[in-house]
């Protein structure tokens, strides 16, 4: 969009060679899954690079330096660690050859020696072992700290720059390092940082790691887009004339870019308790979850395909049920779609994972497994919703049923023509994200931001409201589309029929005010 080269496509020949090599080895049983996952991880990096290419007001040379500053590892798998204790093994030169984290009591580790006895034989080159408490959160151990003050200077330069060449030069000099440090230090960007002394990765909970990676990417891209819009607003902002707005802007940057700490981990536990009390193991919650297809997905697809959306959606749900109950296979392209969307986190139970949080204690792993089991009442309906929505949207595009001129123009397609696989898949991903939402990406309200303990507790409470927040955002988006108001009426009518008048947005608040 800014006239810079981007990554237009991935090299399919490479993945075909990778699959062939695996199928001719002892790993042939996982060839399909591994290659699909590898492609999803590579596509994430391509998305990140393309987002940087679209940054406005930054010179090409700056973008190039920013890209080079990202630590790239061939065939990288997400590195995540959990635990308040660590085991390290050193070779004769003092280099770390093994490192892992685990949970134990705060003062003394009784588990460490038992774990070490199992690990030692696997690393004969290690001549020294250390068991010690983790003094920093694992993902805080970077080669350099986060320069929040540098980000303040970026805002200052941006606000003071209005057509002044000298200020522009100052802005461009400050921006590269500030952006490189900040985008790499929060959430998904931490995967790009060249860490020290941290080989290996968590192997016990792959699903959680992949969910955090793909959901984190969505949040990271959203923040990057938001920062572009903020910079456009801040150019005309004067600290002396508008001190309150200036303070809000600087506080906002500090809040959203601050690293997670141990209080955040404790709030995660609080969120899990809320989840257990209100949602986990509750059949009613799962049943209500299933209504999201009728309330959001069908109205959303009607914007692009009118009446065909409802028919295709019904057929997609029947197909998924038949595949599960009767073993009927999907078509090759549809099976590929379902696998890729799931492995990339698009059709995983995102809301379930987002609200569940994690228990960070010695018994955490066992407790989390129990919570996962209770969470099936929420997780299975959500996965069914997302998969059936994705399949219906994919079929609509593949069969050339999309008639909305705005959508056709955005994807470069013609009315009545069949869409190629990659384009149809991209459209399916868009519809799933629009109607079942990208959990973890939303901007937090003011009371749930900031470094205070109350704000961090507020984030845990907000987890129960984030779904409603995003539903209102969906209605707002629909209002701006062609035939959007018809889609809104369909959605509200479905909500009224399924949940009664009290389920409509703001009805409870309005009725209480009326009674008073």
Mean pLDDT throughout 213-232?
69
Q: Please give the residue that has the higher pLDDT: either 397 or 501.
A: 397
Rounded Cα–Cα distance for residues 435 and 430 (Å): 9
pLDDT score recorded for residue 20: 95
The residue with greater pLDDT, 509 or 338, is: 338
Q: Residue 130, by phi and psi: left (phi above 0), alpha (psi -120 to 50) or beta?
A: beta
145, pLDDT greater than 70? no
- The Cα 266–Cα 272 span in angstroms is 10
Q: Which of 46, 45, 71 is nearest to 180 (CA)?
A: 71
Of 64-78, 139-153, 325-339, 421-435, minimum mean pLDDT range: 139-153
Per-residue DSSP letter, 162? S
Question: Cβ(462)–Cβ(354) under 8 Å?
Answer: no
Q: Which of 162-166, 242-246, 370-374, 470-474 has the lowest mean pLDDT?
A: 162-166
- Over the chain, what is the mean pLDDT? 78
Confidence of residue 230 (pLDDT cuts 50, 70, 90): low
Q: What is the CA radius of gyration of the chain?
A: 25
Task: Name the residue among 446, 448, 135 with its Cα closest to residue 267.
Answer: 448
pLDDT band at 74 (very low <50, low <70, confident <90, very high): confident
CA gap 473, 156 in Å, rounded:
31
CA distance 202 to 81: 6
Name the 3-class secondary structure at 160: helix
Report how far apart, in Å, the C-alpha atoms of 425 and of each of 12, 298, 338, 394, 408 are.
16, 18, 10, 6, 14
Choose between 363 and 147: higher pLDDT.
Answer: 363
- What confidence score (pLDDT) does residue 289 get? 86
- Confidence at residue 481, expressed as pLDDT on a 0 to 100 scale: 93
As a whole-number percent, the residues of the chain with pLDDT over 70 amount to 72
pLDDT at 445 exceeding the cut of 80: no
DSSP string, 219-272: HHHHHHHHHHHHHHHHTT--TTT-HHHHHHHHHHHHHHHSPP-HHHHHHHHHHH
Indicate whether 155 pLDDT > 70: no
- Of 124-128, 191-195, 277-281, the poorest mean pLDDT is in 191-195
Is residue 265 pLDDT above 90, yes or no? no
The residue length of the chain stands at 516
Closest Cα partner for 342 from 391, 290, 274, 393? 391
Q: How far is CA 292 from CA 283, 285, 300, 405, 436, in A?
A: 15, 12, 11, 26, 7
**pLDDT computed for residue 167 by the predictor:** 57
Report the SS3 class of residue 85: strand
Q: Tokens for 481?
A: 């589309």
In whole angstroms, give the CA distance from residue 111 to residue 375.
29
Name 478's Cβ contacts closer than 8 Å, sequence gap at least 6. 299, 300, 303, 484, 485, 487, 488, 491
Q: State the average pLDDT over residues 471-499.
A: 91
pLDDT in tens, 157-183: 554 544 566 655 655 555 555 555 555
User: Could you read off the pLDDT of 317-336 as tens digits, one per residue?
Assistant: 999 999 888 777 899 999 99
Q: Is the CB of residue 257 less than 8 Å from the CB of residue 151?
A: yes
152 pLDDT tier (thresholds 50, 70, 90): very low
pLDDT for residue 96:
83
Note the pLDDT of residue 267: 77
3-state secondary structure 285-309: HHHHHHCHHHHHHHHHHHHHHCCHH
Contact assessment for residue 58 and residue 38, using Cβ atoms and an 8 Å cutoff? no
Calculate mean pLDDT across residues 56-68: 65
Q: Which residue has the higher pLDDT, 256 or 157?
A: 256
For residue 375, the model assigns a pLDDT of 83
Least confident of 112-116, 181-185, 468-472, 510-514: 181-185
| Integer Cα distance of 393 and 377 in angstroms | 25
Residue among 348, 365, 354, 375 at smallest CA distance from 278: 375
Start-to-end Cα distance in the chain = 53
Q: Which has more pLDDT, 499 or 252? A: 499
Can you tell me the mean pLDDT for 456-467? 76
């Amino acid at each position: 969009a800014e006239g810079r080269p981007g990554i237009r496509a991935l090299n399919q020949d490479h993945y075909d060679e990778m699959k062939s090599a695996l199928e001719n080895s002892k790993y042939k049983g996982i060839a399909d899954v591994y290659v699909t996952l590898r492609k999803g991880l590579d596509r994430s990096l391509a998305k990140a690079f393309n987002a940087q290419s679209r940054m406005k007001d930054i010179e090409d040379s700056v973008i190039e330096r920013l890209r080079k500053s990202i630590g790239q590892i061939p065939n990288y798998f997400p590195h995540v660690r959990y635990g308040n204790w660590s085991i390290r093994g050193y070779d004769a030169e003092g280099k770390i050859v093994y490192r892992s984290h685990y949970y134990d009591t705060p003062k003394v580790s009784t588990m460490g020696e038992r774990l070490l006895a199992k690990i030692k034989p696997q690393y004969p080159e290690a001549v020294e072992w250390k068991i010690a408490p983790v003094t920093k959160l694992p993902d805080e151990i970077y080669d350099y700290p986060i320069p929040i003050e540098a980000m303040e200077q970026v805002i200052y330069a941006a606000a003071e720059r209005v057509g002044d060449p000298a200020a522009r030069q100052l802005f461009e000099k400050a921006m590269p390092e500030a952006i490189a440090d900040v985008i790499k230090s929060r959430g998904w960007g931490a995967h790009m940082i060249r860490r020290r002394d941290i080989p290996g990765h968590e192997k016990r909970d792959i699903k959680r790691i992949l969910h955090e990676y793909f959901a984190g990417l969505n949040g990271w891209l959203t923040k990057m887009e938001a920062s572009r819009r903020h910079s456009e607003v801040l150019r005309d902002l004067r600290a002396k004339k508008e001190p309150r707005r200036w303070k809000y802007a600087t506080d906002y940057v500090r809040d959203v870019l601050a690293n997670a700490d141990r209080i955040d981990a404790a709030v995660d536990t609080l969120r899990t308790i809320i989840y257990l009390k209100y949602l986990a193991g509750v059949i009613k919650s799962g049943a209500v979850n299933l209504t999201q297809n009728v309330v959001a997905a069908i109205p959303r697809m009607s914007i692009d395909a009118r009446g065909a959306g409802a028919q295709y959606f019904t057929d997609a749900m029947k197909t998924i049920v038949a595949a599960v109950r009767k073993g009927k296979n999907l078509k090759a392209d549809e099976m590929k779609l379902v696998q890729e969307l799931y492995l990339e986190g698009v059709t995983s139970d995102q809301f379930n994972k987002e609200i569940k949080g994690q228990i960070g204690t010695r018994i955490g792993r066992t407790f989390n497994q129990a919570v996962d089991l209770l969470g099936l009442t929420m997780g299975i309906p959500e996965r069914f919703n997302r998969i059936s929505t994705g399949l219906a949207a994919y079929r609509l595009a593949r069969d050339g049923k999309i008639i909305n001129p705005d959508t056709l123009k955005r994807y470069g397609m013609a009315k009545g023509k069949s869409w190629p696989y990659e384009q149809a898949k991209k459209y399916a991903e868009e519809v799933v994200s629009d109607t079942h939402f990208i959990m973890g990406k939303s901007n937090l309200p003011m009371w749930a931001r900031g470094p205070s303990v109350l704000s961090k507790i507020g984030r845990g409470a907000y987890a129960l409201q984030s779904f409603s927040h995003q539903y209102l955002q969906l209605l707002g988006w629909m209002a701006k589309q062609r035939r959007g108001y018809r889609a809104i009426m369909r959605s509200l009518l479905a909500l009224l029929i399924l949940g009664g008048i009290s389920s409509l947005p703001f009805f409870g608040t309005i009725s209480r005010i009326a009674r008073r």
